[in-house]
Structure 1
Amino acid sequence: MPRSGLLVLAVSAGVTGCSPEPAEVAADEERIACAVGGAQEFEEVCAVDRSKADGKLALVVRHPDGAFRRFAVVTDGRGLVVADGAEEAVTRIEGGKLAVAVGEDRYMFPASIKTAQTDAR
């Protein structure tokens, strides 16, 4: 992603699917596509919980098996960073979404890119 762009997560957009709901994820929860535990295919089964602390947005992504990851939303162009743990998030824009990989787990967050405006004087 070029450094002139600013990544903005669109975490308020809900995602719904046609498949039966996994028991661990309530039907009304916001979900994103994920491939966890080394899975090859993405499925929209990871629940996203949002919270604010000290004016900063944090996300907890819950896997269908009960595992979870915490992310902090950042405004430096990366979009998300791991809020705890030793592994770092690798992020990139893929098909208009923020693709995030942490270890064997991969996530697809809704996102938009705002380009930096330059002064044309």
Structure 2
Amino acid sequence: MMRFALLLTLVLLSACSGGDDSANANESALLRAPEPVGLEDGAERIECAVAGAEAFAPVCAVERRMTGEGLTLIVRAPNGGFRRLLVTRDGRGVVAADGAVPAKVSPIAANRIEVTIGGDRYRLPATVRQ
């Protein structure tokens, strides 16, 4: 069985007005995307396909919180649903922070992983090492 070491390194989008205008083209495209209903302005967006959707779209928001367990990501979907993911240090990348359904993590590129929980899929920036 091939073993992976995943180190999750999420990219922050600048939320400050009057800040540095050197955002890369990908971040600029995400900032110009239409805002989904129910998500805060300025929130970092990731691609997701929730509730069994086939196509990915950059409509899920990510919030980070330091907890007693470590760095927790709260991924919010435009339909009001959310998932809590705990960033691990043991090579798994992330795990479901709560709930009975485990997270399945698959590397999809050298700098991205896909996380599947139930019928929801999320694409997160990451450093993938073999």
TM-score greater than 0.5 by the shorter chain: yes
Partner-residue secondary structure (3-state), 2:102: coil
Matches within 5 A, 1:1-121: 2-3=2-3, 5-14=4-13, 15=27, 16-54=30-68, 56-95=70-109, 96-114=111-129
Deviations 1:69-112 (A, max 9, x none): 11110011111000111100111100231110001000000001
CA distance in 1, matches of 2:2, 2:99: 27
Partner of 2:18: none
Give the drift of 1:17. Answer: 4.7
Structure 1: stretches of 5+ with no match in the other structure: 116-121
TM-score w.r.t. the length of structure 2 is 0.79
Name the structure where helix makes up a greater proportion of residues: 2
CA distance in 2, matches of 1:2, 1:77: 12
Give the drift of 1:64. Answer: 0.3
Q: Check conservation: 2:86, 2:96, Cα contact below 8 A.
A: yes
Q: What value does the CA root-mean-square deviation take over the aligned residues?
A: 1.8
Structure 2: stretches of 5+ with no match in the other structure: 14-26
Give the drift of 1:114. Answer: 4.3
Partner-residue secondary structure (3-state), 2:114: strand
Partner-residue secondary structure (3-state), 1:70: strand
Structure 1 pair 100/55, CA: closer, same or farther in 2 (3 Å)?
closer
